[in-house]
Amino acid sequence: MAAGAGGLAAAALLLALAGPRPVPAELTDGNNEHLKREHSLMKPYQGAGSAAMPLWDFTGSTMVTSQYVRLTPDERSREGSIWNRVPCFLKDWELHVHFRIHGAGKKNLHGDGLALWYTQERLTPGPVFGSKDNFHGLAIFLDTYPNDEATERVFPYISAMVNNGSLTYEHSKDGRGTELAGCSADLRNQNHDTFLAVRYSRGRLTVMTDVEDKNEWKNCIDIAGVQLPTGYFFGASAGTGDLSDNHDIISMKLFQLMVEHPLEDETVDWTKIEPRVSLLKSPKDNVDDPTGNFRSGPLTGWKVFLLLLCALLGIIVCAVVGAVVFQKRQERNKRFY
């Protein structure tokens, strides 16, 4: 990991000691009054079948049809992406993605996966699921192929990464060294709709899935201490290698969250802050964690809370025992007078 990784790979703020983990965030029900159409991709796609779409640009193997935007076909060595043209200046937002990953390949004979982006860069092809490495911003990876033969994870696997341009995504390790958190999700070759929700509000990043045809969100990632600038771009990309899949985007809907911020936030220039995360442990510690989730590491929020609680109880017990011993000594001393 590069020495210039800043606070991304070595953050250890005491904010995580404040108590138990928060309950999963409630996701919006998709109320249209908060829908930001300038950042949303929905049917009917304007300009379908042409090389131009209002508000959106696409590159590589991306093909726009009347029913879906196909980032890659089920063919080897293809990559494609689609990017919003309008920078997003919302401090609190929620992205709902309706997607489909499918193909003819059997178990572990398909790949590579799909990525969702909120980044400074756009329309730049590269090795990370069809987009550039060393990016600035947030990436959510839907990885369908295990490159690390020693991994104990169950694929497909969803993970999150925040980068200030100094970190490199390592494909041979499935990005474990720079991953913040993740979960397994059976999202490939489903006969029903599959959805992903990404919520960012007041420094808290939440990712949820709806891939089991239950019409309910399931918690996947929940991280506090995330700082993302405004003015970045939303996008999606996908790539195939020796193995392949169809990677389709049906819709991307962005909702504005109406959230109150402290007064000091009004003096912050949110376009100038650096993407970073304040974690209790470094993402690199996931190398020895087969789940890849920092919450299951040796010092999770719950474990720290229990440790502090035990320490407090120990102090109370010692104080009580000391008081009893002192009182008995006082009574014994009175007998000598």
Convert the pLDDT of each residue in 173-197 to its tens digit: 999 999 999 999 999 999 999 999 9
Assess if residue 320 is contained within a domain.
no
Highest mean pLDDT (candidates 24-38, 148-162, 295-309): 148-162
For the chain, how many residues are written? Answer: 337
Place of tokens 């009347």: 66
* pLDDT, mean over the chain: 84
Higher per-residue confidence, 153 vs 119: 119
Sign of CA dihedral 54, 199, 183, 224: positive
- Say how far apart CA 97 and CA 322 lie, in whole Å: 60
Assess if residue 301 is contained within a domain.
no
Residue 118: which domain range? 35-277
Q: What is the pLDDT of residue 51?
A: 61
Assess if residue 164 is contained within a domain.
yes
pLDDT at 280 over 60: no
Assess if residue 12 is contained within a domain.
no
Q: Report the percent of the chain where pLDDT is more than 90.
A: 66
Assess if residue 265 is contained within a domain.
yes
**Contact indicator for 196, 116 with CB cutoff of 8 Å:** yes
pLDDT at 2 over 50: no
Domain count, the chain: 1
Segment among 31-35, 105-109, 207-211, 267-271 with least mean pLDDT: 31-35
Assess if residue 4 is contained within a domain.
no
Q: What is the pLDDT of residue 331?
A: 62
- Say how far apart CA 112 and CA 106 lie, in whole Å: 13
Q: What is the pLDDT of residue 33?
A: 59
Q: What CATH number is attached to the domain comprising 104?
A: 2.60.120.200
Of the candidates 95, 175, 99, 86, the residue with the CA atom closest to the CA atom of residue 135: 175
| pLDDT tens, residue by residue, 210-249 | 999 999 999 999 999 999 999 999 999 999 999 999 999 9
Assess if residue 310 is contained within a domain.
no
pLDDT at 295 over 70: no
| pLDDT tens, residue by residue, 14-62 | 333 333 334 444 566 665 559 999 999 999 997 655 666 889 999 999 9
Assess if residue 323 is contained within a domain.
no
Q: What is the pLDDT of residue 28?
A: 67
143-152: average pLDDT: 91
213 Rama class: left (phi>0) / alpha (psi -120 to 50) / beta: left
Tokens (6 digits) for 195: 């959805």
CB atoms inside a 10 Å sphere around CB 291: 17
Higher per-residue confidence, 249 vs 8: 249
pLDDT at 323 over 60: yes
| pLDDT tens, residue by residue, 60-76 | 999 999 999 999 999 99
Q: What is the pLDDT of residue 275?
A: 97
pLDDT at 289 over 90: no
pLDDT at 137 over 60: yes
| pLDDT tens, residue by residue, 87-105 | 999 999 999 999 999 999 9
Query: pTM of the entire structure?
Result: 0.77
- Say how far apart CA 168 and CA 285 lie, in whole Å: 16
